[in-house]
Amino acid sequence: MATVAKLNELILKNIQELPEREKKEVLDFIEYLRIKENPSFIEYVNKRTEEAIEAKRHGEAFISLEQLQRDYA
């Protein structure tokens, strides 16, 4: 347990020292880690992948990662 407590302390210390923008990135990554195994997220990713493959076949432009994140949220 001491190892986990030390790890928590190091994580918190390092996050507190980050600029605000990077703190937001850390939070976004934590959220990603939590949802990446969620069945609805997996279904969403699979659906968007199929749409991207189809769009590529038709010569259409791909949607940006930022737009995909906004759409999923």
Residue 10 belongs to a domain: no
SS3 of 11-39: HHHHHHCCCHHHHHHHHHHHHHHHHCCCH
Residue 66 belongs to a domain: yes
Judge whether residue 59 has pLDDT over 70. yes
Helix or strand holding residue 46 (H, E): helix 39-57
Helix or strand holding residue 67 (H, E): helix 65-72
Task: Quote the pLDDT of residue 1.
Answer: 59
Q: Which domain holds residue 64?
A: 19-72
Task: Quote the pLDDT of residue 18.
Answer: 94
pTM to 2 decimal places: 0.51
CA distance 30 to 12: 13
Residue 31 belongs to a domain: yes
Number of domains in the chain: 1
Q: Could you read off the pLDDT of 13-57 as tens digits, one per residue?
A: 999 999 999 999 999 898 888 888 888 888 888 998 898 888 889
